[in-house]
Amino acid sequence: KAGVTQTPRYLIKTRGQQVTLSCSPISGHRSVSWYQQTPGQGLQFLFEYFSETQRNKGNFPGRFSGRQFSNSRSEMNVSTLELGDSALYLCASSRGASGDIQYFGAGTRLSVL
């Protein structure tokens, strides 16, 4: 069974640009969550999508957005990039019920110059 796949693995952007990251969940999983990992803040929850609807949202500015498609694949978009957005962005998938384990992808390393 294939795991969670995130593309691309690495990205370099400049301030002011926008970026789109992609996540393909484990087959059969309907929930996709996104997390940001930085050295100073650890792993921070961005948002969760379930059946194409945002079900939960963390404390990030509106520049961070996402969506989920009918096949459960998800994309995350960051507009007007800032230097502080440099981080590892992790996607996790689960079946979506309470207590389900979240399985993580390897992440996308974003560097903003």
| Beta-strand pair 10-13/108-112 | parallel
> Closest distance between another protein and the C-beta of residue 92, in Å?
8
**Which CB, 79 or 88, lies closer to another protein?**
88
Q: Where would I find the H helices in 1-113? A: none
DSSP codes of every residue in 94-107: E--STTPPPEE---
> Closest distance between another protein and the C-beta of residue 80, in Å?
25
> Closest distance between another protein and the C-beta of residue 15, in Å?
26
Cα Rg, the chain, nearest whole Å: 13
Interface ranges with another protein (CB under 8 A) = 4, 6, 31, 33, 35, 42-45, 48, 55-56, 58, 90, 92, 94, 96, 98-107
Amino acid at 28: G
